[in-house]
């Protein structure tokens, strides 16, 4: 299996073989550069592809043949858009997951409470969602994640167990923070790219082309395009015989600690 531990064992062995080959046969110096470049490429893949399971297993979809999918919204609550999303979900009788940011919860406490009260799942997406979060030490990461838990707990009286890594980036420090904090890391199987794609038709087509059993869709409360096309996405999902199931229920995970 392609993971951090196996890659380290493999590349350490290869490096030793290169040294041996150099002594016996004279391996050119650039062979080491190629070896290091391949190693770094694999690390890059492991860090930036949330479904790689490279540093830590991250649950990204349900293994099922049933026609079920889950919708998830990151980075909220966002004044305006989150309320519009809630109304669309209510009109469609659909439950979703909201991986919120703590500092946005503080600014939008009433909206946050409404998300929970209307039956949606609350997940931890850090307090700061800091640009350099991935560079934090495990201790600093965990403090940030727990600060988010505290905000949630103050408002709804429950502590999230599901954690979604900012930017979908995982690394050895985050693995330590997740294990120490006893979180369940959750990713997605379909990234809508709704923070980048502004063309609504393109966004809609991209999303509906990826509907399949057990899929987890990633959207953002902050995207106006998502709010615009969400009714059409939900219509398409339901018209194709799929049920929209809350993430923790579809993945059979404990939602709160
Ligand atoms: Zn995010």
Write down the domain spans for the chain: 4-48, 68-250
Confidence of residue 134 (pLDDT cuts 50, 70, 90): very high
Distance 112 CA to ligand 1 centre (A): 16
Contact 215, 189 (CB under 8 A): yes
Average confidence (pLDDT) over 237-251: 97
CA gap 34, 17 in Å, rounded: 14
Confidence of residue 29 (pLDDT cuts 50, 70, 90): confident
CA gap 228, 88 in Å, rounded: 10
Residue 167: its pLDDT value, please?
A: 94
DSSP state of 190: E
CA nearest to 169, candidates 62, 71, 54, 247: 54
Distance 116 CA to ligand 1 centre (A): 19
**pTM for the complete prediction?**
0.92
User: What are the tokens at 194?
Assistant: 């709704």
Question: What are φ and ψ of residue 220, in 5° steps?
Answer: -130, 135
Distance 109 CA to ligand 1 centre (A): 18
Instruction: Encode 132-150: b = buried (16+ Cβ within 10 Å), e = exposed.
Output: ebbebebeebbebbbebbe
Distance spanning both ends of the chain, measured CA to CA: 31
Distance 196 CA to ligand 1 centre (A): 13
Distance 148 CA to ligand 1 centre (A): 13
Q: Does domain 68-250 correspond to CATH entry 3.30.2290.10? A: no
């Amino acid at each position: 299996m392609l993971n951090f531990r196996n890659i380290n064992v493999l590349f350490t062995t290869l490096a030793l073989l290169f040294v041996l080959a150099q002594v016996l046969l004279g391996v050119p110096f650039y062979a080491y550069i190629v070896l290091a470049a391949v190693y770094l490429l694999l690390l890059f893949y492991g860090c930036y592809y949330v479904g790689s399971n490279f540093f830590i297993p991250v649950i990204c979809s349900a293994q099922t043949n049933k026609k079920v999918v889950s919708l998830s919204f990151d980075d909220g609550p966002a004044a305006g858009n989150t309320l519009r999303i809630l109304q669309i979900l209510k009109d469609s009788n659909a439950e979703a997951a909201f991986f919120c940011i703590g500092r946005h919860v503080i600014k939008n406490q009433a909206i946050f409470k409404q998300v929970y009260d209307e039956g949606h799942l609350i997940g931890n997406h850090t307090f700061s969602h800091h640009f350099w979060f991935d560079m934090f030490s495990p201790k600093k990461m965990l403090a940030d994640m727990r600060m988010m838990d505290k905000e949630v707990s103050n408002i709804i009286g429950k502590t999230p167990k599901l954690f979604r890594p900012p930017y979908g980036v995982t690394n050895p420090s985050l693995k330590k923070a997740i294990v120490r904090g006893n979180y369940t890391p959750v990713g997605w199987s379909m990234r809508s790219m709704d923070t980048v794609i502004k063309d609504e038709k393109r966004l809609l087509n991209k999303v509906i082309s990826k509907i399949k059993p057990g899929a987890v869709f990633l959207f953002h409360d902050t995207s106006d395009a998502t709010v615009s096309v969400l009714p059409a996405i939900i219509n398409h999902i339901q018209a194709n015989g799929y049920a929209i199931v809350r993430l923790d229920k579809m993945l059979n995970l404990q939602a709160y600690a």
